[in-house]
Amino acid sequence: MGQDIRELINKALSGDRYSIAKVITLIEYEPYKFKEFFSSYVKEVSSIIIGITGPPGVGKSTLINCLIRELRSQGRSVAVLAIDPSSPISGGALLGDRVRVRCVDEGVFFRSLSTPPNEEMPWKIYLIIDFLSMLNFDYIIIEQPGAGQINTKVSNITDVLIVILQPLLGDDIQMLKAGLTELGDIYVLNKADLPQAELYYTLVKPIIQELKRDDWIPPLVKVSSISCRGIKELVDAIDRFIMYSRSKGLLSKKKLIRKVFEVSDIVLSNLEGVVREVIKEELSSVNKEELTKKPVLALYEEVLGKVLQRICRCLT
């Protein structure tokens, strides 16, 4: 780790906002430069990690605004990592920091992260979470883009997972019945000021109560993000779940599960990168006529051999 990076990290750890942002950018693009830092700065992740997910347009960002305001009123510091999928065509992503969150002060840090369209989240987010926890944020909120059902990665790295629903989305009820969103610890019925909200609440609540795990019955909290009505009840539900998790030893167990998941995901993500690179190189070098004539399994064996050779070279 170079002297410049060491100085940058020290400034970040002292609370300098520009340095914090710079460190995160470097982690995104050159994560291995921080190998020595993460090896030497051993500290257990103490921040509470909250995952927020739900279908597109359900009001995740607006809810986060209200959540930040309530947590700050209680003197708690908050970091938000909002994941934006990049375009499969242009490769770009709309990183909506200022569009999304306007409730920002010295106790709030917000960062958008881009992820490839075929990935739920970039693996570098695990390093960023560890780094933000070293800065002693009380809460780290991860906003996960929804695609009609919960992306399971976010459930593996969070202490509490909040699933947001809204009235008039009949697909939500079907998902709940199919068990596709059963990973939620807390459910939020957003836009509860709409006329249809009460009927929707009546229909959905019994389904959610069937998702009981051990002694925890996931609550369904009614919220209006426009007026922030119901946000205090949501924070109370988060606190109750964290207390429940601690009393059952689930919080420490989740941290262990998170570590195992993070290591396996980093390995698999990097292996996939090597595989894609080799496939592109090998198949582009084969004559088109020969390529069409070769059986797919024969091509697979050739490419696999090249992948294994590349991995062996990396390890030596």
Per domain, the residue ranges of the chain are: 1-40, 43-248, 258-315
Per-residue model confidence as pLDDT tens digits over 167-196: 866 555 555 555 546 688 999 999 888 888
pLDDT at 316: 59
Distance CA 50, CA 45 (A): 13
- Burial (0-12, 13-18, 19+ Cβ within 10 Å), 19: middle
Q: Supply the DSSP string of the chain, one letter for each residue.
A: --HHHHHHHHHHHTT-HHHHHHHHHHHHH-GGGGHHHHHHS-----SEEEEEE-STTS-HHHHHHHHHHHHHHTT--EEEEEEEEPPTTT------HHHH-----TTEEEEEEEE-TT-SS-TTHHHHHHHHHHTT-SEEEEEPPPSSS--HHHHHH-SEEEEEE-TT-HHHHHHHHHTTTTT-SEEEE--TTSTTHHHHHHHHHHHHHTT-BTTB---EEE-BTTTTBTHHHHHHHHHHHHHHHHHTTHHHHHHHHHHHHHHHHHHHHHHHHHHHHHHHHHHHHS-HHHHHHS-HHHHHHHHHHHHHHHHHHHH-
Say yes or no to pLDDT of 124 above 80. yes
Q: Using a pLDDT cut of 90, give the percent of the chain over it.
A: 33
74 to 78, 143, 193, 232: CA distances (angstroms): 11, 21, 25, 10
Report the mean per-residue pLDDT for the chain.
83
Say yes or no to pLDDT of 243 above 90. yes
pLDDT at 158: 93
pLDDT at 176: 59
Highest mean pLDDT out of 52-66, 122-136, 273-287: 122-136
According to DSSP, the residues that pair with 201 across neighbouring strands are none
> Is 130 within 8 Å of 45 (Cβ atoms)?
yes
Stretch 292-306: mean pLDDT: 85
Per-residue model confidence as pLDDT tens digits over 62-97: 899 999 999 999 999 999 999 877 654 444 445 555
Say yes or no to pLDDT of 145 above 80. no
* pLDDT class of 217 with cuts at 50, 70, 90: very high
Record the tokens describing residue 65, joined without a space: 């605004």
Distance CA 222, CA 213 (A): 21
Higher pLDDT, 117 or 248: 248
Per-residue model confidence as pLDDT tens digits over 43-65: 666 899 999 988 777 888 889 99
> Is 195 within 8 Å of 224 (Cβ atoms)?
no
Domain 43-248 in CATH 3.40.50.300: yes
